[in-house]
Each structure stands twice: as structure tokens, then as C-alpha cells.
Amino acid sequence: MTLDIKFRVAREQDLDRIVEMLADDELGRKRERFEKPLPESYQKAFQAISDDPNNELIVACMGNKVIGVQQLTFIPYITHQGGWRATIEGVRTSTTERGQGIGTLMIEWAIQRAKERGCHLIQLTTDKQRPDALRFYEQLGFKATHEGLKMKLV
């Protein structure tokens, strides 16, 4: 079966669907607030991402239906001889569409986009409570070469 998936920059009218997908798992339910109307913080974040040329909020669509989302951030570094890298964040596919290879297509699309932007490296993190996600990313060629640390500020 060939999937007819199209990728595009998210539009404001996609925001409800994006938050719905982000909230649709055990960890997401704890940190997201999918309610109507959405909290204003989501609209402000969407606008900041849209206004920043080094951020792209990308949706995967099957026909007119948004079935996936991911955010790409392009970051210049002094290290690696002043190279650029891309960070993938907030990857989700619709629960009704999982297991069809859409996640693989999304990550492959992100890798190609990072190459188009001249990045020498692409990185992502996944929560340690998501071992299936870790295996998924490793199957796509990502390697757990670094130990990552985070600190909640709020």
C-alpha cells in the first residue's frame, strides 16, 4: 500500500488538531490542555514559531485531514566549525493512523528538510518512558550517543 501523505507548514486552523494529537497519549495528557477554546498559550507559541524563520511546525496530511505533526528548529552552532543542526520535537501521529509507516515518512521528510537547510546533524530527544519511540528512532538510524539532561523551570 502506498500512502499519499503530503507535508506542509501548519496553519492557524490546524492548531486544535495539533494540540489534540499532542495530548493523545499517557505523557501528553499530563502536560497538554486540549480543551475548547484552547488556552491562549498555544496561540502565542504558534505565532512565535510562525514568525521565526528557524522554526517550522509541519503537519502531515492525508487528503484534507491532519494526521501528524512535528516541529523542526534550525540552530547555528559555533561548534562543528560553525555548522547548523536541526532539532525534531513534538512528533505525533494520529492514533487512528498509527502502524502504517506515517511516522517513518515524517522523520524521513524532516531529515531531507534538514539537508535542504544545510544542516550537518539532526537531533531529537524522546522521553525515557517511551521505549517504543526510542526503538523507532534507532531503526531510522538515530543513535543514543549523548546523555541528555533537562531542568524544569516552572
The answer to whether the beta carbons of residues 41 and 19 sit under 8 Å apart is no
Topology, domain 5-139: Aminopeptidase (3.40.630)
Provide CB contacts within 8 A for 147, sequence distance 6+: none
Whole-number pLDDT of residue 25 = 83
Nearest to 123 by CA among 109, 106, 136, 137: 137
Going residue by residue through the chain (154 aa), what tens digit of pLDDT does each one get?
567 999 999 999 999 999 999 999 888 888 899 999 999 999 999 999 999 999 999 999 999 999 999 999 999 999 989 999 999 999 999 989 888 999 999 999 999 999 999 999 999 999 888 888 999 999 999 999 998 888 989 8
Grid cell at residue 153? 523551570
Whole-number pLDDT of residue 54 = 98
Give the helix ranges, DSSP H, for the chain: 15-22, 26-31, 40-51, 79-82, 102-116, 131-139
Whole-number pLDDT of residue 59 = 98
Whole-number pLDDT of residue 60 = 98
Whole-number pLDDT of residue 21 = 95
Nearest to 14 by CA among 80, 119, 94: 94
Cα separation, 97 vs 103, in Å, equals 10
Whole-number pLDDT of residue 1 = 53
End-to-end CA distance of the chain: 45
Cα separation, 60 vs 136, in Å, equals 18
Nearest to 123 by CA among 131, 109, 106, 111: 111
Where in the chain are the domains?
5-139
